[in-house]
Structure 1
Amino acid sequence: MKMFFDFLPVLLFFIAYKMYDIYLATGVLIAASFVQTVGHRVIRGHFEKAHVITLALVALFGGLTIALQDDLFIKWKPTAINWLFAVVFIGSQFIGEKTIIERMMGGNLSLPRMVWMKLNVAWAIFFIILGALNIYVAFSFDTDTWVNFKLFGLMGLTFLFIIAQSLFLVPHLKDSQTEDNDSTTS
C-alpha cells in the first residue's frame, strides 16, 4: 500500500498527461505531491522526509515548467531527486554511525556493518544511474516517450533493483538468523 501511495502522484501525472498536456499534468503532480505529503502527516502523525524533499523539488521544477511554459524543467526533476538521494546515501557513509539504508531498514534486519555499507553504496549508484537514464531519455526522445519512461521505466527499474537487493541479502539473512539462534540457545 505504501508503494502505491508513494507512486500515486506519478500515476496521476501520467493520466493527466495522456488526457491533456504536460502543463496540466505538472499542475496535477504538484497538487498530488502536496496532498501526499500532508496526507502522510495526517495519517501517520509526521512528515516523511522523502515526500517533503520531493514536494519541494516538484514545486520548484513544476512551477518553473508552468510559469515559463517549458517542459525541460519538469524533465529535470527526476534527475534532481535521484541525484539528491544519491548524495544523501553517499554522505551517510561519512556522517553518523549508521548509513541511511541501515537507519531505514535496521529495525527489520540485522546485518554486518560491511553489508550495510555495500547496500548503501549500491543504492547511491542506482540513484545516479536512474538520474543519468532520465537525462538520456528526456533529451533523446519526445515528451511522450519520456512520460512513459518516467512511469514504467523508472518504476520497473526500481522494482528490479529491489529484487536484486533481496537476492543480495538472502545469504546474509541466513547468517543473521543463525547468529540470532546461536545467541538465544547459549
Structure 2
Amino acid sequence: MKQFIDFIPLILFFIVFKLDPRTVDLLGYSFQLGGIFSATEVLIASSLLVYGALWIKQKRLERNQVITLVACLFFGGLTIAFHSETFLKWKAPIVNWIFALIFLGSLFVAGKTPLIKRMMGHAINLPDAVWYKLNIAWTIFFIFSGAANLFVAFTFPSIWVDFKVFGSLAMTIVFMIAQGVYMARHIQEPPKQENKED
C-alpha cells in the first residue's frame, strides 16, 4: 500500500496532462488546467501534500521518498521556470539511476549488507547469496527502467507521459511478482530458539 501512495502525485499529473486546456476559477483566482505545465504544477503541489502528510504522520520520510520529492521539485521547478518539458523528461531516468547506485553501493559500504536485505531481512529469512542476487536484480531493474524512460521520452514524445505512468508501474509490478516467485523458492525457516529453564 505504501508504494502506491507514491503514485498519487503521478496519477494526478497524468489526469491534468490529459485534460483539454481550460481556465478554472477557484477562490477568486484563475488557473490554467491541461497540458504539461499545469500538470507539472499539480505534480509539485500534490507531491508536497502527500509527502508532507506522510512526514507529519510518521515524523520521517524514507530515503526513496526524499529522493523522489527532491527530484520532483528540482526537475518540475526547472520545467516551469524555463517552460520546457525536457527537464521533466530527465526526472524518471535520473531518479531510477540514483536508486541503482544506492542498491549497488550498499554492496561496498555500510557493512556490505545488501540494501534489499536491510529493507526486507526483518520479515524474510533468505541465504546471503540470494539477498546478493536480489540486490543485483534491483540494480539492473533500475538501470533498465531509467534507460526505458529516457528512450521513450525522447524517441516517442507523444506517449512518454503514458509510459511514465503506466509503463513504469507495469514494469515494477512484473518485476516484484518475479522477485516474489524467486524469493518463495529460497525462503528458510527461522532458527528455532530453545527455551532453557534455569
Aligned to 1:10: 10
Residues 1:167 and 2:181 are matched in the alignment: yes
In 2, Cα distance between the equivalents of 1:31 and 1:114? 42
Residues 1:56 and 2:70 are matched in the alignment: yes
Aligned with residue 134 of structure 2, among 82, 102, 119: 119
In 2, Cα distance between the equivalents of 1:70 and 1:32? 20
Residue type at the aligned position of 2:67: I
After TM superposition, the score normalised by the length of structure 2 is 0.87
CA contact (8 A) 1:61 1:76 kept: yes
Aligned to 2:49: 35
Runs of 4+ with deviation above 3 angstroms = 183-186
**What is the Cα deviation at residue 170 of structure 1?**
1.1
**What is the Cα deviation at residue 125 of structure 1?**
0.3
**What is the Cα deviation at residue 136 of structure 1?**
0.7
CA contact (8 A) 1:78 1:131 kept: yes
Based on CA coordinates, which of the two structures has the bigger radius of gyration? Answer: 2
SS of the aligned residue for 1:172 comes to coil
In 2, Cα distance between the equivalents of 1:146 and 1:48? 27
In 1, Cα distance between the equivalents of 2:130 and 2:77? 40
CA contact (8 A) 1:89 1:124 kept: yes
**What is the Cα deviation at residue 128 of structure 1?**
0.1
Superimposed CA distance per residue, residues 124-161 of structure 1 (whole angstroms, 9 cap, x where no aligned partner): 00000000001110011124x00100111000000000
Unaligned runs of 5+ in 2: 20-33
Residues 1:150 and 2:174 are matched in the alignment: no
Superimposed CA distance per residue, residues 10-56 of structure 1 (whole angstroms, 9 cap, x where no aligned partner): 10110110110101111111111111221111112222221111111
Aligned to 1:100: 115
CA contact (8 A) 1:57 1:81 kept: yes
Aligned to 2:144: 129
Residue type at the aligned position of 1:8: I
In 2, Cα distance between the equivalents of 1:24 and 1:102? 40
In 2, Cα distance between the equivalents of 1:171 and 1:142? 41
After TM superposition, the score normalised by the length of structure 1 is 0.92
In 1, Cα distance between the equivalents of 2:163 and 2:107? 31
**What is the Cα deviation at residue 185 of structure 1?**
7.4
Aligned to 1:65: 79
Aligned to 1:110: 125
Superimposed CA distance per residue, residues 73-123 of structure 1 (whole angstroms, 9 cap, x where no aligned partner): 101100010000000000001112221111111111111111111100100
Comparing both structures, which one devotes a greater share of its residues to helix? 1
Alignment identity in percent? 44
SS of the aligned residue for 1:93 comes to coil
CA contact (8 A) 1:41 1:48 kept: no
Residue type at the aligned position of 1:66: I
